[in-house]
Homo-oligomer: A and B are copies of this chain.
């Protein structure tokens, strides 16, 4: 398990998608502007998210990215693993044997901690943050302030439909 700014970018971007889930795709240009990350860098991150089956791209005008699965099924651990791509689980000098074929006890304890951490993050889904009452209304207001009019408009009509 590893957690860098890259992971944070991934998670916040996915939160953005989750907030507007069902409203329509969110463009990277939009996220780029709101989060202050370069567009091309976001494209690289989303390439990974897509390859890991977390998001789907929709091309053409009105396109963007949307969640590939319902927000209830996407965990924070998954997102971080997707963008950080930690193939290297390097505990010892490579593959688990400390010096004499025996792994240091501390390495085992670390593995235990690491697993606990993963389980913790794997228990937190996107929907836990986003599906709280009032969040989508708040998002709509923020979108208007931030000039994301297309999204705000779609959000509004989605909320009206929900109200009926």
Which A residues contact B (CB, under 8 angstroms)? 1-5, 8, 11-13, 15-16, 19, 33-36, 76, 90, 92-93, 98-100, 102, 104-107, 109-110, 112-114, 116-117, 120-121, 124, 129-130, 135, 138-139, 142, 145-147
Contact = CB atoms under 8 A, between A and B. Distances in A.
Contacts of A35: 92, 98, 104, 106-107
Chain A binding surface, main DSSP class: helix
Copies in the complex: 2
A36 B98 contact: yes
A90 B5 CA distance: 9
A127 to B, nearest CB: 12
The winner among A1, A12, A145 for most chain B CB atoms within 10 A is A12
B145 A102 contact: yes
Contact of A146 (B102, B124, B145): B102
Contacts of A139: 105
Interchain residue pairs A-B with the least CB separation, the first 8: A3-B3, A36-B93, A15-B106, A12-B106, A109-B129, A34-B104, A12-B110, A16-B106
Contacts of A5: 2, 90
